[in-house]
Amino acid sequence: MIESSTFVTDVGRVRSHNEDSGGVFPTGMGVLAVIADGMGGHSAGDVASKMTTDALFESWKKVSEPLTASEAEQWLKTELEAINESVFSYAAEHKECEGMGTTALASICTDDYTVIAHIGDSRAYIWGEDGFVQRTEDHSLVGELVRSGQISEEEADQHPRKNVVLRALGTEQTVKVDSVTLQAEPNQLLLLCSDGLSNKLTLEELKNELDRKDELEKIAEALVKRANDRGGEDNISLAIVRYQVQEDGDEIVT
């Protein structure tokens, strides 16, 4: 079963306002977790990210029957594609929002599966039987350079164009959504975050913070503090979902 979940967002130490949005939305059908990192100017990025979060939440509340894993994956793709059209149209109709967009990272978590769908460079990590693993690939210039072998992951961390996103929600009339479906595991932990966190902490540092036997809210606050202590140049948002599964009638304690 899903034991607990939390979401936190922080403006950081440098920016004047927060363009991130997101949340965790538990219902009888499972938990929907969302991270949206807006882009496109002072008055536009937060519009795109909030539109994305609000639309996903409103649609999720209307799901009245349990979804299979394949149905959940298709649901996320369909919803994100529809939201992309809405954000794109809104930007075209409102000059002050011209060019706005957002990353979109969403996960449906149930007792049986975890489905992740994403556009952009917000990341999903899962701590399970395979260890602590990033489960999304950044839709960014630097991510593409790493995948093609032109630069190493170490070089990517210091690349001057690290912030260039190649795929975002709302910037084009259509968008390709990447997705993955994973079986739920005992004591599994899901972390979704914007690059305001992932750019500041290494994989090992994220793992060490999540390894603490503490309330998720305190872990989330500690992660935000570490990102801010390292400059906090960007908005910081993260969602955590903790699974607790029963085996042979005994509850596994996290």
Please, what are the domains in the chain?
2-251 (3.60.40.10)
Vertex 101 angle, CA 91 and 127, to 5°:
150
Residue 221 phi/psi, 5-degree rounding, is -65, -40
Give the pLDDT confidence of 77-136 residue by residue, as tens digits: 999 999 999 999 999 999 999 989 999 999 999 999 999 999 999 999 999 999 999 999
Give the pLDDT confidence of 143-174 residue by residue, as tens digits: 666 676 776 666 666 655 667 789 999 999 99
Question: Are 39 and 234 within 8 A, CB to CB?
Answer: no
pTM confidence score? 0.91
Give the pLDDT confidence of 240-250 residue by residue, as tens digits: 999 985 554 43
Binning pLDDT at 50, 70 and 90, where does residue 252 land?
A: very low
